[in-house]
Structure 1
Amino acid sequence: MLQISGSVWVLTIGVIVGLLALDLALAAARPHAVRFREAVAWSVFYIAVAVVFGLVLTAWAGGEYGAQYFAGYILEKSLSVDNLFVFAVIMTAFAVPEQHQHKVLTFGIVAALIMRALFIAIGAALLNLFSFMFLLFGVLLLWTAVQLFRHRNEDPEVQDNGIVRLARRTLPLTDEYVDGKLLVRLDGRRVATPLLLVLLAIGGTDLLFALDSIPAVFGVTQEPYLVFAANAFALLGLRALYFLVKGLLDRLVYLSTGLAVILAFIGAKLILHWGHTVDNRVPEVPTWLSLAIIVVILLVATIASVLKVRRDPEARAHAGSLHERSREAERAARPRADA
């Protein structure tokens, strides 16, 4: 087991918090529409930070732990692209102005990190106490994979989000965005702006993604430090990645299918690991093979998407959903599709 001192934890969290603070400071100091060159520069920076961390970890802790970190990072990075799909759906549904999208994405990353840190702590404690949790996590991922594959050509019902519905019923709301503010004074009383609804929708989405991604990353490493680091560094570059690829997201038509296959594979890996704890004759999937399979699935999904769009330029990708769209949502979406 990887032994991590308190000072290493503090240093790692300090670096992550510092990078988040930089993001927040930039968003608050100069709200603007992020252009392609800026997005490229920040994306390269965050990927470089993650890779350097992995190389330092490998030199310090050994190749096995380094491979586990990189497998977790690539897995979380691929799952975070599905986050971007949903973020794009939310931005479109609420017509978020470009100059405020930077702030929304930064909030989404902060919320995701907090929720995942909480679930990592809970998940690690459960796995240490009860080995059968590997079986439960594996079954959860298999169920998620099946649902995502079944509804791979759908988008989540953002406007039907329970948190958003509750906010609409309980909060006084204005129809206009006001200088990136969450609350404004109107006719002598405080009212919420649509930006608050957007942040609530993002937070609710982050919660759902955390429930899926944490069991998945525990499938490639059971080290809480590596799970946290892989999640943190994958999420830190999410804001820049969104502005870099948002014009290409609807071209990745087989991404949801690829992610469903990856989740099914990780689910099966967790079940095999549980079986190995019961009977050591049950085989386990080594880390290097997990990493190779994840990379191959992502490459196949990406290449197949490119070929599909080349043959059918009208083909569009969807974020995928874990639930079938309600009839009300179908009726609401139909006029827009026909327009």
Structure 2
Amino acid sequence: MDVSLTLWVLTILGLCALVAADFFIGGRKPHEVSIKEAGIWTVVWVALAGLFGLGLLFFGGGQPAGEFFAGFITEKSLSVDNLFVFVLIMAKFAVPSIYQQRVLMVGVLIALVLRAGFIGAGAAIIANFSWVFYIFGAFLIWTAWKLIQEARADEEEEEFEENRFLKLVEKRFPSTDRYHGTKLFIVENGKRLMTPMLIVMLAIGTTDVLFALDSIPAIFGLTQDPYIVFTANAFALMGLRQLYFLIGGLLKKLVHLSYGLSVILGFIGVKLVLHALHENGVGVPEIGIPVSLGVICAVLVVTTLTSLRAAKKQAEAEAEAAAVERAEDAEDAAVTDAAEKSGARA
């Protein structure tokens, strides 16, 4: 897809306008985000992504539109995995609920800027070195296997561990031990101090870079158009704040999410390897966008349904175990009470 500099500028300005509207309408005043508010804004962002994809269909044809929708769905599904870490970060820094949306808004913007750098670097590498598809494909297949291993491991409750950048920031810049509203810096006893608000924003933004290491190669496996890669990432990330509040309570129920993501990453990894072989003149079939989009959607639907079913069974088993425990406690209490009455009569 041939994208002019003017279109790039207009797209970035349009995205900035959407972010500004999101901030002034729903995020300017710190408050606890309700399920209703999160649901409305989630629908808005998904609808905007759908309208953008339809615009690509109208002006660019079916190929770029299909690539955008496949990339958007892939990035959106991978971004859900980010929310698990965001929950850990919020707990680690004890972020008050009324400030969490501001933290996520700025953190996601930092992540988008950093991802733009990754996308630019990835596009430049792909344009000059076609063999990089082998590396991307192998990396995604390895990541898929690693996800399966982690999902099968019986791990204890995770805790967020600060990365080197955050440790360096905290070491170089003194900070306060409590929040001061949404302020990032304050002056205390003549010293300029950083607040935990800035630290947690940086934590959200820089931690997302780790997720970009697999999500960026994944979307390049679906399209090599930097414009589509960037816009799909932008729309997927910009609705992440509302998604955090909407499905925050459901995250623990998505017990099979890691398996679904591993299948998607492995599938795209194989697609990349086949594409690289095809580019080198090997007569192998390539996987088209319609097939890719169908596989991605099918995996997500199956994963969601099996996760909800497994969570329901687990809840029923826990309820049954609790009922049995209550019955045993009642029986023990009855025996104790009878023994006390018998002793009193004696």
CA RMSD of aligned residues (A): 2.0
Give me the whole-angstrom Cα distance separating, in 1, the residues matched to 2:27 and 2:46. Answer: 23
Q: How many residues align?
A: 315
1:37 aligns with 2:36: yes
Given that residues 92 and 159 in structure 2 are in contact (C-alpha distance below 8 angstroms), is that contact kept between their aligned partners in structure 1? no
Give me the whole-angstrom Cα distance separating, in 2, the residues matched to 1:13 and 1:158. Answer: 33
What is the aligned partner in structure 2 of residue 301 from structure 1? 303
Displacement of 1:203: 2.2
Given that residues 28 and 103 in structure 1 are in contact (C-alpha distance below 8 angstroms), is that contact kept between their aligned partners in structure 2? yes
Displacement of 1:214: 0.8
Displacement of 1:290: 0.6
> What's the % identity of the aligned pairs?
49
Displacement of 1:177: 1.0
AA paired with 1:259? L
What is the aligned partner in structure 1 of residue 259 from structure 2? 257
C-alpha change, 1:19 and 1:156, in structure 2 (3 Å) is: farther
C-alpha change, 1:305 and 1:28, in structure 2 (3 Å) is: closer
Give me the whole-angstrom Cα distance separating, in 1, the residues matched to 2:189 and 2:147. Answer: 46
Given that residues 138 and 269 in structure 1 are in contact (C-alpha distance below 8 angstroms), is that contact kept between their aligned partners in structure 2? yes
Displacement of 1:157: 4.6
What is the aligned partner in structure 2 of residue 213 from structure 1? 215
What is the aligned partner in structure 2 of residue 97 from structure 1? 96
Displacement of 1:235: 1.1
SS at match of 1:190: strand
Given that residues 108 and 204 in structure 2 are in contact (C-alpha distance below 8 angstroms), is that contact kept between their aligned partners in structure 1? no
Displacement of 1:25: 3.5
C-alpha change, 1:314 and 1:95, in structure 2 (3 Å) is: farther
Displacement of 1:213: 1.0
Displacement of 1:192: 2.1
Give me the whole-angstrom Cα distance separating, in 2, the residues matched to 1:177 and 1:118. Answer: 31
1:127 aligns with 2:126: yes
1:16 aligns with 2:18: no
C-alpha change, 1:314 and 1:255, in structure 2 (3 Å) is: farther
| 1:188-230 deviation line (CA, Å, top 9, x unaligned) | 3222222222122112211112222111000111111111111
Given that residues 111 and 206 in structure 1 are in contact (C-alpha distance below 8 angstroms), is that contact kept between their aligned partners in structure 2? no
Give me the whole-angstrom Cα distance separating, in 1, the residues matched to 2:162 and 2:15. Answer: 33
SS at match of 2:187: strand
Displacement of 1:156: 6.1
What is the aligned partner in structure 2 of residue 158 from structure 1? 160
1:163-174 matches, cutoff 5 A: 163-174=165-176
Given that residues 134 and 271 in structure 1 are in contact (C-alpha distance below 8 angstroms), is that contact kept between their aligned partners in structure 2? yes
Give me the whole-angstrom Cα distance separating, in 1, the residues matched to 2:86 and 2:257. Answer: 15
Displacement of 1:113: 1.2
Given that residues 88 and 159 in structure 2 are in contact (C-alpha distance below 8 angstroms), is that contact kept between their aligned partners in structure 1? no
C-alpha change, 1:73 and 1:41, in structure 2 (3 Å) is: same
Given that residues 164 and 200 in structure 1 are in contact (C-alpha distance below 8 angstroms), is that contact kept between their aligned partners in structure 2? yes
Displacement of 1:60: 1.3
What is the aligned partner in structure 2 of residue 177 from structure 1? 179
Given that residues 108 and 205 in structure 2 are in contact (C-alpha distance below 8 angstroms), is that contact kept between their aligned partners in structure 1? no
**Stretch deviating more after TM superposition (78-87 or 168-177):** 168-177
Give me the whole-angstrom Cα distance separating, in 1, the residues matched to 2:280 and 2:27. Answer: 53
Give me the whole-angstrom Cα distance separating, in 2, the residues matched to 1:283 and 1:216. Answer: 19
AA paired with 1:46? W
AA paired with 1:149? I
Displacement of 1:101: 0.7
Given that residues 109 and 236 in structure 1 are in contact (C-alpha distance below 8 angstroms), is that contact kept between their aligned partners in structure 2? yes
Give me the whole-angstrom Cα distance separating, in 2, the residues matched to 1:114 and 1:197. Answer: 17
C-alpha change, 1:175 and 1:227, in structure 2 (3 Å) is: same
Give me the whole-angstrom Cα distance separating, in 1, the residues matched to 2:40 and 2:19. Answer: 16
Give me the whole-angstrom Cα distance separating, in 1, the residues matched to 2:4 and 2:164. Answer: 41
What is the aligned partner in structure 2 of residue 49 from structure 1? 48
AA paired with 2:51? V
AA paired with 1:300? V
SS at match of 2:181: coil
Given that residues 109 and 205 in structure 2 are in contact (C-alpha distance below 8 angstroms), is that contact kept between their aligned partners in structure 1? no
SS at match of 2:186: strand
Given that residues 134 and 270 in structure 1 are in contact (C-alpha distance below 8 angstroms), is that contact kept between their aligned partners in structure 2? yes
Displacement of 1:182: 1.9
- Unaligned 5+ residue runs, structure 2? 318-346
Displacement of 1:270: 0.5
Displacement of 1:149: 2.1
SS at match of 1:185: strand
C-alpha change, 1:270 and 1:191, in structure 2 (3 Å) is: same
AA paired with 2:296? I
Give me the whole-angstrom Cα distance separating, in 1, the residues matched to 2:64 and 2:55. Answer: 11
Displacement of 1:232: 0.9
Match of residue 272, structure 1, among 268, 271, 274: 274
Displacement of 1:166: 2.5
- Unaligned 5+ residue runs, structure 1? 316-339
Displacement of 1:310: 0.9
Which structure dedicates a bigger proportion of its chain to helix?
2
Q: Which has the larger radius of gyration?
A: 2
What is the aligned partner in structure 1 of residue 145 from structure 2? 146
AA paired with 1:260? S
